[in-house]
Amino acid sequence: MKRLTIGLALVVVLLLMLAAIAVAAPSGDFCVDHQDNPNCTEPTPTTTTTAPPAQQPCPTGEITITANGYVEYECDWTPIYPGESAPYEGTVRLTSDRPVSKVVIAVLDSVPGDICTLVQGWEEKTGQVFQASFALSYSALPDGFDPDYAAWENQTYWGWNDAHWCYPQDLMPGMRDDLNGEPLDLHVGFVAKKGTTATITLTPEQGQ
pLDDT digits (tens, 9 = 90+) for 139-162: 876 666 667 778 888 899 999 988
> What confidence score (pLDDT) does residue 148 get?
75
Q: How many CB atoms lie within 10 A of CB 94?
A: 26
Q: Which residues pair with 181 in a beta bridge?
A: none
For the chain, the structural domain boundaries read: 7-203
What's the CA gap between 5 and 28, in Å, rounded? 28
The list of the chain residues with pLDDT below 50 reads 1-28, 38-39, 41-53
> What confidence score (pLDDT) does residue 180 get?
86
pTM of the entire predicted model = 0.72
> What confidence score (pLDDT) does residue 150 get?
84
User: Positive or negative CA dihedral for 129, 132, 137, 143?
Assistant: positive
Q: How many CB atoms lie within 10 A of CB 11?
A: 18
The string of DSSP codes covering 156-208 is BHHHH-SS-TTGGG--SSSPPP-TT-SSEEEEEEEEEEEEEEEEEEEESPBP-
> What confidence score (pLDDT) does residue 30 get?
53
